[in-house]
Amino acid sequence: MKHLDKPNMDALEVLISSKENIRSKELKQKIEESKDFFKRRYNHYDNYATLGTFNILVNRNYNNIVKRVDQKANMILLYDKMTQEKTQVRKYYKTLREMTTKCPYCGFGTVSTLDHYLPKSKYPIYAVYPNNLVPSCYSCNTTKLASTDVTLHPYYDNVENEQWLFCEVICSDSIFFKYRVDQSVFNSSLYERIKTHFKVFDLQTSFTGFASDELSGYLQSIYTYLEQMNIDGLIADVKDRYDSNLAFKKNHWRTALYQALHNDSSWIEFLGK
């Protein structure tokens, strides 16, 4: 999970700009008249998200919206205008998408779209709210889709400074890795969201695959140490790799991998057989 600064955009300006290319004069008028309503709702979102109480927003029932301006069809139309070429509002879509090249949800995918943190199908009111639009890779966007599981929000949560990702080395027929999220200094609701995030984006599967590839790429070097009976040299090399990854990112799958290889050296004996 990668933290991003909140978009530096005037949310009402985005809303007003998104109505410019729609045909219905009536809808344009309604949006113009509802600016205060949107402003209040946007403030709600920002306040709850800042406090980490997203579950309150998520549990709100929006099914009663029938004739109001924020009904689903209207809001999806506004968002569609944002994504279309040659519209004025497209510039906001582009700016948001270009905030980062790496997907903040998984930390490794390439950004190719915008994800509605609260899905537009269930929370149409936030369909063009910049703070609800997160640059993301295709895979994370489709995985999440209409899910209302409360994952980490890249604009509001910053969990990069404390370690919560750990790895375990398992030697059986071969060596494989198991990643886990562990409690540290976070409060229980943030900890739950980290765990949900890990599960929803199936980071276990991705990280396990990356770790196996990493070990395969390291094997030739490992065997050279073993042939030279230089176990201390191997342990020092693993420690170097751990330290340099730790200095880069505390919760990177590679950091957790080298930490595990350093803490538990049973794999050295396993490979030496």
Among the listed ranges 74-82, 102-110, 228-236, 238-246, the one in contact with Zn ion (CB under 5 A) is 102-110
Q: How far apart are CA 85 and CA 200, in angstroms?
A: 32
Between residues 21 and 251, which has the closer beta carbon with respect to Zn ion?
251
Q: Is 103 in the site for Zn ion (CB under 5 A)?
A: yes
Q: H or E stretch including 73?
A: helix 72-83
Beta bridge partners of 179: 167
Amino acid at 29: Q
Min separation Cβ 206 and Zn ion, Å: 9
| Beta carbons of 175 and 267 less than 8 angstroms apart | yes
Between residues 103 and 133, which has the closer beta carbon with respect to Zn ion?
103
Q: How far apart are CA 201 and CA 144, in angstroms?
A: 8
- Ranges of beta strands (E only) in 138-260 are 165-171, 175-181
Give whole-number Cα distances, 149 to 83, 191, 200, 239, 263, in Å. 25, 14, 8, 37, 34
Q: Is 134 in the site for Zn ion (CB under 5 A)?
A: no
Q: Is 140 in the site for Zn ion (CB under 5 A)?
A: yes
DSSP 8-state class, residue 162: S
Number of residues that bind Zn ion (CB under 5 A): 6
Between residues 78 and 103, which has the closer beta carbon with respect to Zn ion?
103
Q: Is 137 in the site for Zn ion (CB under 5 A)?
A: yes
Among the listed ranges 18-26, 54-62, 77-85, 97-105, the one in contact with Zn ion (CB under 5 A) is 97-105
Q: How far apart are CA 218 and CA 238, in angstroms?
A: 10
Min separation Cβ 178 and Zn ion, Å: 21
Among the listed ranges 13-21, 62-70, 96-104, 214-222, the one in contact with Zn ion (CB under 5 A) is 96-104
Q: How far apart are CA 209 and CA 34, in angstroms?
A: 49
Joined tokens for residue 251:
């919760």
Q: Binding pattern to Zn ion, positions 56-95, x when CB under 5 A?
A: ----------------------------------------
Q: How far apart are CA 229 and CA 272, in angstroms?
A: 10
Between residues 106 and 169, which has the closer beta carbon with respect to Zn ion?
106
Q: How far apart are CA 101 and CA 112, in angstroms?
A: 8
C-alpha closest to that of 268 among 173, 178, 171, 176? 171
Q: Is 109 in the site for Zn ion (CB under 5 A)?
A: yes
Single residue of 89, 106, 127, 261 touching Zn ion by CB under 5 A:
106
Between residues 7 and 109, which has the closer beta carbon with respect to Zn ion?
109
Single residue of 38, 54, 79, 105 touching Zn ion by CB under 5 A:
105
Q: Which residues bind Zn ion (CB under 5 A)?
A: 103, 105-106, 109, 137, 140
